[in-house]
Structures are given as C-alpha cells and as structure tokens.
A and B are shown apart, each in its own frame.
Chain A
Amino acid sequence: MPENNDRPDVGQLWRSWLTDTERQWNAFFNDVMGTDSFGRFLGGYMDIYSTFQRLVAQNMERSLSTLNVPSRSDVLELSERLSSLEERLSSIESSINTLAEAVGHPSRPAAVTQLRPRRTRQPRSQPAGAK
C-alpha cells in the first residue's frame, strides 16, 4: 500500500485511544479500590470465603469418614510420607555419589560432570591479563 504522510494512520489513532482509555480506567479503579472501605470489603469477602471453605472441608471430611473412604487429609498424609521417603532416597543417593567420587568412580550423569569449560573468560572491556 502506498504511504501517504498527510493521512493520519487510523490504526495508530486507535492504539493511542486504547492506551489512554486503559490508563483512565486503571486510574479510576485504583481510586475506588485504593480506599479503606474497599479494603474492608475485600477483607470481609475473604473472611466469608475462608469460613465457607472450612465448613465445606469439615463436612466433606465427616461424610467421607462415615462412608469409610479416604479423605483429602488422608491422601495428603500419604503424600507427605512418600515425600519423606523420596528425600531419604535422595540423601542416600547423594552419599553414594560422594563416596563414588572419593574412590574415583563418579556416578553423576555424564552430561553434568563432563561440562568443564575453561573458567578464564574476562569481560571484553578489560585487558586480557587483568585480574
């Protein structure tokens, strides 16, 4: 499309309008939501929300227990035990690696141990011999 410098770019006008409108709406909402009364309203909402969540969780726990079905807290407990097992395994693996390295048989994945780039690079602005 041939360029015509006399004609304003409609797309550019629209983009400027969008940016200005966004800024104005944000400023308006910030004025409304930056007040103590809005903070109090938000706090009240969160209070009701967390109370509701707690009631639902307690009732669900009771119902599942009555039906003899594992509840969320039971699953979480299992998951915690699994995590602690994972950690124990990881620490045993780490000890074995340390021992293997000490006797000259590194067992880390080759990709990590083989990465031995020279650590001598200097910033470009400094002369090569500078420390």
Chain B
Amino acid sequence: MATVRIPETPPLTEIFQAEVVKRNLDRFQRGMDVIFDRDPPVVGATAKDVVYSKGTLRLYRYRPVTDEVYRIPLVLVMSLISKPYILDLSPGQSLVEYLLREGFDVFMVDWGVPRPEDSRLTLEYYVLEALPRNVEEVQKVTGEQEVSLLGYCMGGLFALMYSGIFQDAPVANMVCAATPVDFEGMGMFRRWSDRRWFDVDRIVDTLGNIPPDLIFRSFEMLRPAERWAAYARLFDNLWTISG
C-alpha cells in the first residue's frame, strides 16, 4: 500500500527567523509603495527625439549608442491600444535599449492616446496616409530608401496592410509581434462580436472612441482568473522587487 507523504511544515522557530521576518517586512513596505503609487517606475526612458508629429502622432528617433549602425533603419509601429513604452519598459528591461546596443537605428511610430475628435479617423488614414508619411520622414532623416518594420499588436496589422497595399513599399524586412493575423483563432472574441447580436457600428456611433475600460475588460474576460492570480503573485514576489 502506497504511503501518503504529508508535507512537513517548518517549525515555528524557523518561521520567526530574522530572514523571514525581514522578507515580510520588505513585502509589506513594497506593498504600501505599490498601493500608494510611491516611487513609480521610470518607463520609456531611452533618449529620443521627435522627428515628426501630427495631432497625437509622434515619430521618435532613438539616439544611437554605437558609432556604426546597420544600414537599414528599424521602425517600430505601435498599436493604437497599448502604451508605446511596452517596448521600452525600464533601463535594463527594454527592447529598444537592446536594439540600440546591437547597432540598429531605431524609430518608433507612437500614435498617442486618441482624442475624442480622432474617433473619425479610419483604417485608411492610418494605413494609406499616416504610416507612409512616417516612412517618408525616416527616409528623409536617414537618407536610406529601405526600412525594416517591426509591428507590435495592431501596429503589425498596419504594417502588413501597408506592405500589402503598396507594392513599391520600401520595406526590406518585417517582423510582427503579438499581431492577430488569422482571426479564426480568436474564438471568444469572434463569438462575442458575432454580427447576429453585436452591432459594432451602433456602439462606435454612440461612444466614438471605444473606452479603454471596455477594451481592458474584454481582454480580461479571456482569462478572468488571471488578474487575481497576478495580485497573489505580485504579493509573493514583492520582497524580491528592488526598490
């Protein structure tokens, strides 16, 4: 007969050891920092210049950190939904920083936070007008004809549409990250937004820009338990986060 092994719990003396007490004090202190938003993390800190702007749109050029860069500039095309600093989180944890160190000349198309009047902007504007204009600016600044595109999330869709529509688009390379290309795979979203019961035109006509909270909740509903588990994991890891 197999014996059931009951996990031993550490004796009380160990629980109250100085290291454990210190860890929990650190956890408490960092928890308070998070709750009261003290010492917020620095995001998007890599040095950059605005090359072109229009409305909320900004085209940034990150300052190269090497004397010699690859010939073809790299343009990061961001999403309309997520924040642009997701690719430049914090010093030491930044894709932009890594690319600069590796010798790329990095640009970023940041669409900004849409304003109420931007609700009239269409896909045509982003793909046929704005993105080509940004590519032109990159060409002007670098003197190079070709560009490499790295599209993130919805930015990947823009980059794909742009390259597909303009046969002479000067795109040497393209990378899409977190870009939904085959929507067959988005089962839940497809079911929720089925035309039989979801009138997207009516919602857009009424709300204008879709409120961020609505988008956030929709994504959250794909994995409803994730948020609470994330809080638990944050609590677990709080003491390891450097202050």
A104 adjacent to chain B (CB < 8 Å): no
What 0/1 readout, one digit per residue, does chain A (37-73) give for beta carbons within 8 Å of chain B? 0111011101100100110010000000000000010
B164 adjacent to chain A (CB < 8 Å): no
B192 and A10 within 8 A (CB): no
Residues on B with beta carbons closer than 8 Å to the beta carbon of A95: none
A79 and B116 within 8 A (CB): yes
Residues on A with beta carbons closer than 8 Å to the beta carbon of B14: 1
B64 and A87 within 8 A (CB): no
Residues on B with beta carbons closer than 8 Å to the beta carbon of A102: none
Interface size on B, residues (CB 8 A): 54
A8 and B7 within 8 A (CB): yes
**Alpha-carbon separation in the docked complex, A29 to B226 (Å):** 11
Chain B interface main SS type = mixed
Nearest CB on A from B4, distance (A): 13
**Alpha-carbon separation in the docked complex, A56 to B53 (Å):** 35
B103 adjacent to chain A (CB < 8 Å): yes
**Alpha-carbon separation in the docked complex, A18 to B232 (Å):** 8
A111 adjacent to chain B (CB < 8 Å): yes
In the complex formed, the residue of A with least CB distance to B223 is A26
In the complex formed, the residue of B with least CB distance to A86 is B55
Nearest CB on A from B9, distance (A): 7
* Interfacial residues of chain B within 1-35, with CB under 8 A of chain A in the complex: 7-10, 14, 17, 19-20
A22 adjacent to chain B (CB < 8 Å): yes
Q: Determine which residue in A22, A33, A50, A83 has the highest number of CB atoms from chain B within 10 A of its CB, and name it.
A: A22
B51 adjacent to chain A (CB < 8 Å): yes
Residues on B with beta carbons closer than 8 Å to the beta carbon of A115: 49, 61, 63-64
Chain A interface main SS type = helix
**Alpha-carbon separation in the docked complex, A92 to B196 (Å):** 48
**Alpha-carbon separation in the docked complex, A29 to B14 (Å):** 40
A42 and B192 within 8 A (CB): yes
B181 adjacent to chain A (CB < 8 Å): no
A107 adjacent to chain B (CB < 8 Å): no
A111 and B54 within 8 A (CB): no
Residues on B with beta carbons closer than 8 Å to the beta carbon of A25: 224-225
B188 and A30 within 8 A (CB): yes
B233 adjacent to chain A (CB < 8 Å): yes
Interface size on A, residues (CB 8 A): 49
Selected contact of A119 from candidates B7, B70, B202, CB within 8 Å? B70
In the complex formed, the residue of A with least CB distance to B198 is A43
B68 adjacent to chain A (CB < 8 Å): yes
A121 and B223 within 8 A (CB): no
Contact A50-B206, Cβ < 8 Å, known A111-B63, A121-B103: yes
Nearest CB on B from A11, distance (A): 7
Chain A interface (Cβ < 8 Å from any Cβ of B): 1, 7-8, 10-11, 13-15, 18-19, 21-22, 25-26, 29-30, 33-36, 38-40, 42-44, 46-47, 50, 53-54, 57, 72, 76, 79-80, 83, 86-87, 90, 109, 111-112, 115, 117-121
Instruction: Identify 26 residue pairs between A and B in the complex whose beta-carbon atoms are under 8 Å apart, listed by A's number.
Output: A1-B20, A11-B236, A14-B236, A18-B233, A19-B229, A21-B225, A21-B229, A25-B225, A29-B224, A34-B188, A35-B191, A36-B191, A39-B192, A39-B194, A47-B199, A57-B206, A79-B117, A80-B117, A83-B115, A86-B54, A87-B55, A111-B49, A112-B61, A117-B64, A118-B69, A119-B144
For the complex of A and B, the 3 pairs showing the least CB-CB separation, nearest first, are A43-B197, A25-B225, A22-B229
